[in-house]
A and B are shown apart, each in its own frame.
Chain A
Amino acid sequence: MFYRENGQFKSSYRADQQILPITQDRIAMLVLLLAAFVVVPLGVSDYWMRAILTPFLILSLAALGLNILVGYCGQISLGTGAFMAVGAYAAYNFQVRIDGMPLIASLLLGGLCATVIGVLFGIPSLRIKGLYLAVATLAAQFFTDWAFLRIQWFTNNSSSGSVSVAGLNVFGVPIESPVQKYLFCLIFVVVFALLAKNLVRSAIGREWMAMRDMDVAAAVIGIRPVYAKLTAFAVSSFIVGVAGALWGFIHLGAWEPAAFSIDRSFQLLFMVIIGGLGSIMGSFFGAAFIVLLPLFLNQLPGWLGFSISTALASHLETMIFGALIVFFLIVEPHGLARLWSTAKEKLRLWPFPH
C-alpha cells in the first residue's frame, strides 16, 4: 500500500526516462546506498566485510560485465575466467614493473588489456552463434590458463607461478583494513553499475538487444553486427577484467591461475542465468545467490546447534544448493530479477489484485 505511483505525474521526457521513475524506488535506492556506504562499515564485523561482502561485490561486478555480453547482446561466453585472469595479471605487471604506478590506473589498464583480449576472442562471434560460440570462447580460457602457467614473464619470474601484491594505496590512503577494501570495491561497483545501466539504456544498448533478439532483422534496419557484437565484447571484458584485477589485488592478495579457472567462468555464467539475463539488478541477485547461499548453508547447522561432520555439512551444502538452483529455475526461468519485478507488480496492486 506504500508502493504505488498514483499522484506521480511525469511532465517532461527527462522525468519519464529516469533510471528509477517511481519515487519509492528512488528512496529505496538511496537507503540502500546509504546502508552500503555508512551502516555496513560501521556495524558489520570484519569477517563479514572481508570474507563475504567484498567477494560478493567483486563477483557482482564480474557478473555485471558478463551480463552485458550474454544477457544484453546474446553472445554466450565461457571465457569470463580468462578475461578476469588477463585483468588481474596485466594489472599485476603494471603494478610491479612500473614504479609508482597508481593503483586505480593499473586496475583500469588491466581492464583495458582484458578488453583487447576480449575483442580478439570475440571476433569468431561474427561467424558462430549460440552454443558453438560458447565452445569457441572456451579457447580463451585454455589459452590464458596455459599462458599464465607457462610464460614466466607474466608472473615476474616467480618460481611457483603464484604472484602477490602488497602495500596498496590510493592517493596515499592505504587499502589495508577490511573497511577500506570494502569501500574501495563498493565505489568501483557503484560507478560501473551506473555506467552499465546507462549504456544499456542508450543507443548502443538497444543495438545489443536488437542483435540478441534477431540479428538478421537488426542488420536489415541498419545495425552493423561487427560493431554491435565487438563493442559488447569490449565493454563486457573491460568490466570483467577490472573485476578480475580487484579479485586478485583486493580479495586474494596472492593468487595463481587456478583462481581464474574454468570453474570461475561457469560460476559467473550461472550467476547471470540464475540472477536474470539482461538485467543489471539480476547480476547482483545472482552473485548473492551463488556467493552467499553456500556460506549460509555451510554455517546453518552450526547456528542451529547441530553438530554434524565437516564432510556431511559440505555435502549437504552442495545438495541443497543444487536443489535450490533447480527450484528457482522452474519457478522462474527468467531469473531472480524477474521474480523481483513480479513482486513489485503485485505490490503495486495490493491489496486489490485483479
Chain B
Amino acid sequence: MRMKTKTLYSVAAAGLTACLAVSAPANADELTLCWAAWDPANALVELSKDFEQQSGHTMKFEFVPWPNFADRMLNELNSGGQLCDLMIGDSQWIGGSAESGHYVKLNDFFEKEGITMDDFIPATVTGYSEWPKGTPNYWALPAFGDVVGWTYRKDWFDKPEVQAEFKEKYGRDLAAPETLAELKEIAEFFQGREIDGRKVYGAAIYTERGSEGITMGVTNVLYNYGFQYENPDKPYELDGFVNSEGAVKGLEFYKELYDCCTPPGSSDWYMSENIDAYKSGQVALQMNFAFIWPGVEADPNVGGGKSGYFANPKGPDGHFAQLGGQGISVVSYSDKQDAALEYIKWFAQPEVQQKWWQSGGYSALKAVVEDPGFASSQPYAQTFLDSMAIVKDFWAEPAYASLLLAMQDRVHDYVVAGNGTAQEALDGLAEDWAEIFEDEGKY
C-alpha cells in the first residue's frame, strides 16, 4: 500500500512537472497554416510538432488538393478571410498578393531577426520571395524548393536485351538522356513495348488543361528551344520572343512527344496521374516535380534502386527547367501575426531546415544543400541540385491567372486537340498576353 501511494505521488509529481514544462504561455495562439494537400504537407505537420513544443502555440493545418488549391486559397485571400495565418502560396501569387496587400512585407522582420536572403538558393529567393522581381522586397521565406525533373525505370533500362536492342537501333547505350532529342528517342523506343509481359508506354508528360498542368510541362521544352517571356531589354514586348522561331519548334516537339510516346488517354494528366502511371508500371519515363521523388524511392514497385532521376534535358537553344515550389508568407488579415512570424523565425533555422530535408521537404537553405554530404544523402539529391541550377519561372505578375489560363488554352488546344499550328498557337498566345498587359496598363 505504502509502495502504491509512493508510486502515485511520483506519477502525479512527474505529470505536474511535465504539464508545467509544456504548458502554453499566456499568449499561446492557435495558428492555421494553409497549403496544398500533398506529401510535403504531411512532412511539415510532423516537423511542426517541434515548433508547438518549443513555442507553446498550437498548429492547425488547412490543406487543399492541388487542382483546387489556387481557387480555394485565392478566394480566401481576395475576400480578406482570416482562415489562414500562414500561407504557403504558389510562386506565381507573389505579385498579386503583394500588390493587393494579402501578405505582410517581411524585410523589417528579416532584418530584426538576422535572417538574410543570401542564405537561400538565389533562384528560390527570386521565385518565391521577391516582388517586384529583382528588387530586395520580400513577401515570403523560401519554404519548399521544387523543380520539374524526370524519373526513369532504371530496372528496365538495365535489362541486357533492352540495352542491346536500343544500341542496335540508335547506336548508343540506353541511359538517362542529355538532350530532349535523346529523351524522345527513348520514349519512342519504349512506346508499345512489352516489358515483363505487359504493354508499356514511353513517357508520362503534363497535359492537364484546367489549372496549370500543360504550361508547367511545355515550358520545359519551350525554354530550351529559345522561348522567352518578353524582350529582355524591353519589358512586356512579346512579339518575336513568345512566338520566336525556336519557340514554335519547341511547341511542335512537345506535340510530337505527346503524339508518339504517351499512354492513350493521357490527355488531361498532371502530377498525380503521372505518378500513378509510373508507379503502376505503365511508363518508362515520368516528367514531374521533384517533390514526388521521396515517394518514388519509398514505393515497393519502383523504389529501392529501380528508379533513376535526371534533370530536364537541354535543347538546341538552352538548358532550363520549370521552377515549382513555394515560399511561406504571413497573411495580413491574420490577427496572430506575431505568432506567425515566430513560426517563420523557427522554420528559417538551419537545424530545422536540415530536419525538413531529411523528412521529405526540399529545403532551399544553402547551408543544407551545399553541405558536402547533401548530394549523396538521397539518390535524387544531386539531380535536385542540378535542376535547381537551371530553373526559370512563369510570370508572377498580379494578372498571372489570366496569363496562365491563356497559355493553358492555347497550348492544350494545339498539343492535345491538334487544332491549328504551333505558330498560330504562339501568335495567339502573344496576342492574348498583349491584351492582358494592355488591360493592366503596361503599354
Tell whether A and B belong to one assembly: no
